[in-house]
Amino acid sequence: MSRSADPFFETEAEAPVPPRRAVQVLLVVLIVATKLLVLAALGHDAVCSCGTILLFQHAFDANGNSQQVSDWYSALHVLFGLGLFVFIDRMRPFWGLGQKAVVAIMGSAIWEVVENLPFTIALFHAPSGAVPYTGDSLLNSFTDTLFVALGFFVAAKIPLWATILLGLALELAVTLAMDDGMIVGSLRILGLDV
């Protein structure tokens, strides 16, 4: 067998390369699956223990918050996706959109795991005036990642000023609807009574 016919000796230029998009999709699937397995190992329910699956949990319900397909906090995950795009795009402007998306999904997965650790759940639940939080269902965590991806891809298509306005509008909507949000929640965690 000649050296050039042996796949072991293929040079980088000769070696077959899987399509980049397929590798990126596979990475995203592995990241999301790993996140869900970690949350399941932490004891999170697959769906709301209330026995009902809703597309949108619009009313304040301590048992249904962060358990359904979407809720007011889904808007904050869109906001997180907007922010991830802006940050990653500024840090790695020459990366392709697919590469940036994989990093954004990784960031979302890391946050979802941290957000659902017992310590963090207690931190979010402790401040006075905070919306009761017991952690996400696996369904909600999965769709949270989809909302992050939505925010990421919207930010990739619109100008920075529109991204900022959309982010402010989402934060304001959650603040008005739930008396919560990234800013209000952060202030409460810092001990301010807002």
| pLDDT per residue as tens digits for the range 5-45 | 544 444 455 555 568 889 999 999 999 999 999 999 999 99
List helix spans (H) across 42-159.
Answer: 72-91, 97-115, 118-125, 138-157
Token pair 């960031």: residue: 107
- End-to-end, the C-alpha distance of the chain in Å comes to 75
Q: What is the mean pLDDT of residues 56-81?
A: 84
State pTM to two decimals: 0.85
Q: What is the mean pLDDT of residues 172-177?
A: 91
Q: What is the pLDDT of residue 100?
A: 97
Confidence of residue 61 (pLDDT cuts 50, 70, 90): low
Least-confidence region, from 11-15, 73-77, 124-128, 173-177: 11-15
Tokens of 119: 């310590």
Name residue 9's beta-bridge partners. none
Name residue 57's beta-bridge partners. 71
Q: What is the pLDDT of residue 11?
A: 47
Q: Is the dihedral of CA 94, 100, 102, 108 positive or negative?
A: positive
Percent of the chain clearing pLDDT 90 (strictly above): 55
Q: What is the CB neighbour count within 10 angstroms for residue 75?
A: 22
Q: What is the pLDDT of residue 136?
A: 87
Q: What is the mean pLDDT of residues 121-135?
A: 71
Contacts (Cβ under 8 Å, ≥6 apart) of 122: none
Do residues 136 and 66 touch, judged by C-beta distance below 8 A? yes
Q: Tell me, what DSSP letter sits at residue 131? A: P
